[in-house]
Amino acid sequence: MTTNTEKPLKKVCIICSKGTIEDVYATLIMANGAVMEGIEAKVFFTFFGLDAITKKQMNRLKTATVGNPAMRAPGGLPFPTILGILPGVEAGVSAMMKSQMEKLDVPPVDEFLEMITAGGGEIYACKMAMDMFKLEKKDLWEEVKDVLTVGEFYAMCGGENTQIIFT
Amino acid sequence: MTQKTIAGKTIELNDEGYMVDPSQWTREIAAEMAGEDGIVLTDKHYEVLEFLRASHSKGETLTIRKVGKSGIVDIKGLYQLFPGGPLKFSSKYAGIPKPASCV
């Protein structure tokens, strides 16, 4: 006989390394979902994921319209990659993604981050990627808690029933 | 599904402890359910519960964002009222189903 030894999740450490709408929202939805369930959440933005917490870029994220075979036109019609390179297509598709999410009451990036921090979630930026992209703390959203090395982030990921999630 | 006597009334609850029939709800039931979780309901809590009940009866999908924009309490305040489950616990005490939204 087996007994159920599952223990509830206590903390999630989420790493976001990409800056498209869907990659960033996957991170934000998981982080927000965690704090709403009473699970501690720490989010580390690195590489292109930094766009999500950079004041200038955070509300201007885009969905890539090239090289994304799962993206179809409304009604499920195929969306040939060659259309994706036309001027304005990426902006149009991105605007549509955002309006569809707004209908589900999913907020813009800055408001979403505020919801996460309101629930006690913490937002961090990667030091190495900041150096690489020539970003400074003042370029980041005000509530970013700190700029960390990967080692410092790992140091926060200890404890029982903690999971690291890479998106 | 189980039956439980809460605040002197026999209430139907689902497996997760949510009320099956929102019309059975009273303020006293809410107080007793919250008390079991160690939360003492204040007027502010009841304002949130009434808002959730009204939205639910209109068939709306509830999110913490909607509660935050209700003018009753901001999202930070909502977390303080219902620690560890701003929408989950408030929905439970409001006698409505567990929220089916991810935000």
Q: Of B75, B84, B101, which is closest to A118 when you measure between CB atoms? A: B75
In this prediction, residues A76-85 reach a mean pLDDT of 91
pLDDT at res. B17: 94
Cβ contacts of A119 on chain B, cutoff 8 Å: 75-76, 79, 86
> CB–CB of A32 and B103 under 8 A?
yes
For chain A, what percent of residues have pLDDT higher than 70? Answer: 98
Q: Evaluate whether residue B100 is within a structural domain.
A: no
> CB–CB of B68 and A32 under 8 A?
no
Residue B36's domain comprises 2-93
Number of domains in chain B: 1
Note if B12 is an active site residue.
no
C-beta separation of B79 from B50 below 8 A: no
pLDDT level of residue A3 (50, 70, 90 thresholds):
low
Cβ contacts of B103 on chain A, cutoff 8 Å: 29, 32-33, 104-107, 115
Q: What is the mean pLDDT of chain B?
A: 95
pLDDT at res. A74: 85
> Whole-angstrom Cα distance, residue A85 to residue B15?
52
pLDDT at res. B95: 97
Q: What ipTM does the predicted assembly reach?
A: 0.92
> Whole-angstrom Cα distance, residue B33 to residue B7?
9
Query: Which of the following is catalytic: B19, B76, B102, B103?
Result: B102
Domains of chain A and any CATH numbers:
11-63+108-166 (3.40.1260.10)
Q: Evaluate whether residue B98 is within a structural domain.
A: no
Q: Evaluate whether residue B45 is within a structural domain.
A: yes
> Whole-angstrom Cα distance, residue B77 to residue B66?
13
Q: What is the mean pLDDT of chain A?
A: 95
List pLDDT tens digits, range A22-76: 999 999 999 999 999 999 999 999 999 999 999 999 999 999 999 888 999 889 9
Cα B94 to Cα A101, B8, B54, B89, distances in angstroms: 27, 17, 10, 8
pLDDT at res. A2: 60
CB contact B61 to A (< 8 Å): yes
Question: Is the pLDDT at B102 greater than 90, yes or no?
Answer: no
For chain B, what percent of residues have pLDDT higher than 90? Answer: 92
In this prediction, residues B3-22 reach a mean pLDDT of 93
> CB–CB of B103 and A105 under 8 A?
yes
Q: Evaluate whether residue B21 is within a structural domain.
A: yes
Q: Evaluate whether residue B20 is within a structural domain.
A: yes
List pLDDT tens digits, range B31-88: 999 999 999 999 999 999 999 999 999 999 999 999 999 999 999 999 999 999 999 9
Q: Tokens for A115?
A: 């919801």
Interface A-B: count of C-beta contacts within 8 A: 46
Q: Evaluate whether residue B69 is within a structural domain.
A: yes
> CB–CB of B61 and A119 under 8 A?
no
pLDDT at res. B1: 81
Q: Evaluate whether residue B99 is within a structural domain.
A: no
